[in-house]
């Protein structure tokens, strides 16, 4: 009887050890992207929803006149941002890179 009881205890301890080691190996995704992987600008929005481009220090970059065609060998990619503002709602919808974000606004 003692032997089977000790065997059960060994299995319980073994199971606990395996589950604890699995928890120790768990890696959590980072909350932020390393700054070396980000471009030195960002897009922000004024209170009325007007988009602005900000440099790395948070200063607004003014729009510039662009002369076409752009000298390049080919277009690498095209990305767009869509912002939908609602009247009477505390949510804005933003579509970036094909993904939809519901952004809560202050009341």
Structure confidence by residue, pLDDT tens digits, 6-34: 555 555 544 544 544 444 444 455 566 66
- 41 within some domain: yes
Residue reference for tokens 């220090």: 57
Decide if 47 is inside a domain: yes
Q: What is the total count of domains within the chain?
A: 1
Residue 55: the pLDDT is: 94
Q: Is the pTM of this model over 0.75?
A: no
For residue 27, what are the domain limits? 2-67+78-104
Residue at 44 is within a domain:
yes
Reading the block at residue 17, the tokens are 């050890």
Statement: residue 63 has pLDDT above 80: yes
**Res 22: pLDDT:** 45
Phi-psi region of 58 (alpha: psi -120 to 50; beta: other; left: phi over 0): left
- Domain membership flag for residue 73: no
């Amino acid at each position: 009887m003692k032997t089977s009881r000790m065997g059960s205890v060994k299995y319980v301890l073994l199971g606990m050890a395996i589950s604890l080691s699995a928890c120790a190996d768990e890696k959590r995704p980072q909350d932020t992207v390393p700054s070396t992987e980000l471009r030195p600008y960002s897009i922000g929005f004024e209170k009325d929803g007007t988009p602005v481009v900000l440099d790395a220090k948070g200063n607004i970059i003014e729009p510039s006149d662009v002369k076409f065609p752009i000298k390049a060998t080919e277009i690498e990619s095209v990305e767009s941002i869509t912002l939908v503002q609602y009247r009477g709602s505390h949510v804005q919808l933003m579509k970036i890179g094909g993904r939809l974000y519901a952004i809560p606004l202050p009341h």
